[in-house]
Amino acid sequence: MANIEVTFLDRGRVQADRNFVVDGTSVATASNREPEHTYETYVVWNLLVETPETTILWDTGSHPDAGGGYWPQPLYEAFAHVDAAEHTLEGDLADAGYALSDIDAVVMSHLHLDHAGGLSEFDGTDVPIYVHREELPYAYYSANTDEGSIAYLASDFDRDLNWQIVHGDSYHLTDGVELLHLPGHTPGLMGALIERPDDPLLVVGDEAYVQANYEGQSMATSLLWNSARWRESLARCRDIQRETGAEILLGHDLDVFESVQ
């Protein structure tokens, strides 16, 4: 079995009403017309996956100016990355003992703005950037028209990048790292099964923003491109977890992130 090490990079905190994450968290009823809202703190993380052959960066986090006008105001109002300015990709890599030049390849789980904000660091380089076939056209379409999702910014990804297109349901990236196509949150969302020795890790990512989503409570509509596909992808993740006994890493659940390390 390949000798694989995973380093977890904490890229900061996003705060939002839980209604934007878990569908119907607080709804008014006849007997409770003013339910309490839960304003929660979530995590943004990246991974460094090191194999004997290669060092892979999983996602690139938010742009440091997310709160300074780089993110569209309506989106920041809903999902506030409150400390993005303190979390540059280069700085967070340095804290973990890595430099940008150590990165041999980047895997983009998808191209939303809390994942693609550090891609500019690879502009003009030949570092391969892996993205799913179903993600890239939807990202361009969304970023450049009024259709699709507002969570895609052309300034994040419309750059001189060495795109490597991933096709199909599963993709063998390198020994011990299988990419999984998990459509639902976005058309081309990817997770991964990382076969750490004795301790496999299932990167579920934004397929489940938090634990409640992984347990089957629907994500809020603002986080769903296609809810039927989302349910299918969730079933696939849970099957893989049952088969492998893998630890899971969810998209933005702070407790899960802290316990998996």
User: Which residues form the interface with Zn ion (CB under 5 A)?
Assistant: 114, 206
Between 195 and 253, whose beta carbon lies closer to Zn ion? 253
3-state secondary structure at position 238: helix
Minimum separation from the CB atom of position 252 to Zn ion (A): 6
Between 51 and 157, whose beta carbon lies closer to Zn ion? 157
Minimum separation from the CB atom of position 148 to Zn ion (A): 16
Token pair, residue 54, equals 């290669």
Minimum separation from the CB atom of position 120 to Zn ion (A): 18
Long-range contacts of 77-80 (CB under 8 A, 24+ apart): 78/16, 78/17, 78/20, 78/222, 79/14, 79/15, 79/16, 79/20, 79/114, 80/14, 80/15, 80/16
Of 88, 84, 87, the closest CA to residue 70 belongs to: 84
Between 156 and 206, whose beta carbon lies closer to Zn ion? 206
Minimum separation from the CB atom of position 145 to Zn ion (A): 22
Between 23 and 206, whose beta carbon lies closer to Zn ion? 206
Between 174 and 226, whose beta carbon lies closer to Zn ion? 226
Minimum separation from the CB atom of position 124 to Zn ion (A): 26
Of 232, 227, 225, 181, the closest CA to residue 203 belongs to: 181
Bridge-based pairing state of the strands 190-194 and 201-205: antiparallel
Between 4 and 111, whose beta carbon lies closer to Zn ion? 111
CA gap 73, 83 in Å, rounded: 16
Question: Could you tell me where the DSSP H helices lie in 31-189?
Answer: 73-78, 89-95, 136-144, 154-157
CA gap 125, 119 in Å, rounded: 11
Minimum separation from the CB atom of position 250 to Zn ion (A): 10
Minimum separation from the CB atom of position 109 to Zn ion (A): 8
- Neighbouring CB atoms inside 10 A of 109's CB total 30
CA gap 151, 247 in Å, rounded: 28
